[in-house]
Amino acid sequence: AAQEAAVRAQAEAVRRLKQDKADPDEIAKEVAKLLEMKAQLGGDEGKPKFVLKTPKGTRDYGPKQMAIRERVFSAIISCFKRHGAEVIDTPVFELKETLTGKYGEDSKLIYDLKDQGGELLSLRYDLTVPFARYLAMNKITNIKRYHIAKVYRRDNPAMTRGRYREFYQCDFDIAGQFDPMIPDAECLKIVHEILSDLQLGDFVIKVNDRRILDGMFAVCGVPDSKFRTICSSVDKLDKVPWEEVRSEMVGEKGLSPEAADRIGEYVQLHGGLDLIERLLQDPKLSQNKLAKEGLGDMKLLFEYLTLFGITGKISFDLSLARGLDYYTGVIFEAVLLQQENEHVEELVGVGSVAGGGRYDGLVGMFDPKGRKVPCVGVSIGIERIFSILEQRLEASEEKIRTTETQVLVASAQKKLLEERLKLISELWDAGIKAEMLYKKNPKLLNQLQYCEDTGIPLVAIVGEQELKDGVVKLRIVATREEVNIRRESLVEEIRRRTSQP
């Protein structure tokens, strides 16, 4: 009864907050408390009612989703290994201060852990900052590594479009002092290889350089102090039209309309080597040291990409800005252009599936002496790719196997549990993937049905007669053919019949 009174009081508090049009976050918090109190109070059956769900913005992966996920991972890992990368892993949380001051305006999306005594911790926001911390901590100045792990952002989830609060990143980075644009070109080659390999349809990789952006801002008359915030505005151009971005620049951020209009002219430019050449001749840009450096390197990058034969999918795009604070040079982002599969009627707005760039200053932020380690890297955004492949699979009605079982050990008569256990143990010990039903006396029909349902291709059937004859009856599920195999040849026969050609 006391609990019920507490629930009523909380309900009243919520009502009042809503009436007062309080901060929505505040209201949400109190509503959550109310729901929890109600849940604890219990339901009709006197049993506590649980909110049976995963946290907001997260999801479980069932066996089918895992099968897709492992296919995608396998393609990505193959590519990373093909390029000679080592692999590392870091903890899911970092000291809070490790993440502080690395993400600019996005810092508010970091998940903090509760202060339970001891260190203040936060869940990692990406894999780049932990990588930089790892390099500085271990004084590594030279490494090519990949890292595949989950990262966490308290963002507004849009799950059907593959935007989650817990999501995988697949990162490949090259750290070290090298000749310009060689590692940068390899990162773009990797994005090209992975997106081609996964057959996600047509794509374009947009490329720009923070130095070109900064140079452009300078010649357009943006004051130095506004570079970052104007860069954030430009970053929105892939989602909102120029007019809106312009009014943000002029209205909210106090840029002069003339400067904004000059920016507007530049950011509509995109192209290839020809555009780079043209901008190198641009009377204003060519006078700016940063822009000139950036354009020179961009030209070199395009030469290397030409040798790789991938410039067809690369677009030098002056509207590309990338949100994160830590980039210092080349930046890029891969975008899927359309859904290739005609079975999927509704197009999914998937946007960017990979991104990255050069961040030469980040490791130095962790080094006590500020020693820099130049880095460039790429991050593949797996969740959006999953969304596409999942929907494609559903539409195609392709049956996907979720186990690799080669043979079901079955019996035709009763009282053969011991014989099944003996046989399956022999098969496991020989490395055969085998299952049996966990019943003392399963019906043969049920055993065969299990194979149909799960895609097991073979059934090894033991019966009184077979035991006497020293054979096992091997049934091929697809053709219903049955052959007697001598027990000592069974393993070999199963291997032969299930080996991938």
Residues of span 185-214 touching a copy of itself by CB under 8 A: 185-186, 189, 193
Residues of span 47-66 touching a copy of itself by CB under 8 A: 47, 49-56, 58-63, 66
To the nearest whole angstrom, how small is the minimum distance from the Cβ of residue 290 to a copy of itself? 23
What one-letter code names the amino acid at 86?
A: E
Between CA 335 and CA 22 the distance in angstroms is 39
Q: Give SS3 for 357.
A: strand
| Residue among 58 and 352 whose Cβ is closer to a copy of itself | 58
| Residue among 30 and 214 whose Cβ is closer to a copy of itself | 30
Residue 103 annotated in ligand binding = no
C-alpha dist (Å) from residue 190 to 35, 40, 162, 176, 345: 47, 51, 22, 18, 30
What is the separation, in whole angstroms, between the first and last Cα of the chain?
Answer: 70
The contact mask relative to a copy of itself for 374-413 (x = CB under 8 A, - = no) is ----------------------------xxxx--------
Asked if residue 22 binds a copy of itself (CB under 8 A), the reply is: no
List the one residue from 138, 268, 413, 465 that touches a copy of itself (CB under 8 A). 138
Residues of span 214-253 touching a copy of itself by CB under 8 A: none
What one-letter code names the amino acid at 395?
A: A
Between CA 447 and CA 414 the distance in angstroms is 13
Residues of span 60-99 touching a copy of itself by CB under 8 A: 60-63, 66, 69-70, 81-95, 97-98
Query: What pairing do the DSSP bridges indicate for beta strands 471-476 and 458-462?
Result: antiparallel
List the one residue from 5, 438, 479, 496 that touches a copy of itself (CB under 8 A). 438
Query: Between vectors from CA 125 to CA 121 and to CA 129, what angle results, nearest 5°?
Result: 90
C-alpha dist (Å) from residue 342 to 49, 196, 337, 338, 351: 44, 18, 14, 11, 19
Residue 153 annotated in ligand binding = yes
Residue 449 annotated in ligand binding = no
List the one residue from 431, 465, 484, 486 that touches a copy of itself (CB under 8 A). 431
| Residue among 43 and 221 whose Cβ is closer to a copy of itself | 43
Asked if residue 29 binds a copy of itself (CB under 8 A), the reply is: yes
What one-letter code names the amino acid at 270?
A: H
Give the number of other Cβ atoms within 10 Å of residue 61's Cβ: 12
- Residue 410's nearest CA partner among 381, 377, 435, 379 is 435
Residue 173 annotated in ligand binding = yes
Asked if residue 111 binds a copy of itself (CB under 8 A), the reply is: yes
Residues of span 280-319 touching a copy of itself by CB under 8 A: 304, 307-309
Known binding residues are 126-128, 153, 169, 173, 322, 326-327
Annotated binding site for L-histidine: 126-128, 153, 169, 173, 322, 326-327
